[in-house]
Amino acid sequence: MAASPWDPHAAAIGRLRASDADRDRAVDALQAAYAGGLLTRGELGERTSRVLAARTYADLVAATAVPPERPPPARKHLRKAVAYGVGAIVVPPAVVAAFLTYYGGFIILCLLACAGMALSGALMAPYPPGTLPSAGPR
């Protein structure tokens, strides 16, 4: 059974020679770290060359040491934020304009009719005594 560079016994001894399969596993681990965003392209190239030149497990462990954690790269949400901001400014007035275009004539007609009735006093005029509109002749 071959020991891997992450085997604690082989890492503790460190003098054991690393096989080609161990170096291949170390390169695969570095490529996975690069794909996960833990390494830059330059670090990947440097560490890969150190792994391929490693002779012992101690060299492999040094070359594949866990890099310090980096913050994840900032996402570019600026374009969406601007789009949502513009939508919040443009959409409400457009909806109001569309509503008034479609229903505007009817609304203005109703307002004028109500204003005319209120100004003419037709809503407030009392009926003379004894004459109700629904009473009819007696």
pLDDT digit of tens for each residue in the chain (138 aa)?
444 555 566 556 667 888 888 899 999 989 988 888 888 899 899 999 999 999 888 888 888 886 666 666 666 655 665 566 767 777 888 888 888 788 777 777 788 887 877 777 655 556 666 666 665 555
How far apart are alpha carbons 121 and 109 in whole angstroms? Answer: 18
Regarding whether 120 and 81 lie in a shared domain, the answer is yes
Task: Tell me, yes or no, whether 81 lies in a domain.
Answer: yes
Task: Tell me, yes or no, whether 56 lies in a domain.
Answer: yes
Please give the pLDDT value at position 90: 77
Provide the total of helices (H) and of strands (E) in the chain, helices listed first: 5, 0
Regarding whether 56 and 12 lie in a shared domain, the answer is yes
Q: 15-38 burial, b for 16+ CB within 10 Å, e for fewer?
A: ebebeeebbebbbebbeebbeeeb
The total number of structural domains in the chain stands at: 2
Regarding whether 59 and 13 lie in a shared domain, the answer is yes
Regarding whether 83 and 50 lie in a shared domain, the answer is no
pTM for the model stands at 0.43
Regarding whether 49 and 14 lie in a shared domain, the answer is yes
Domain that holds residue 97: 76-124
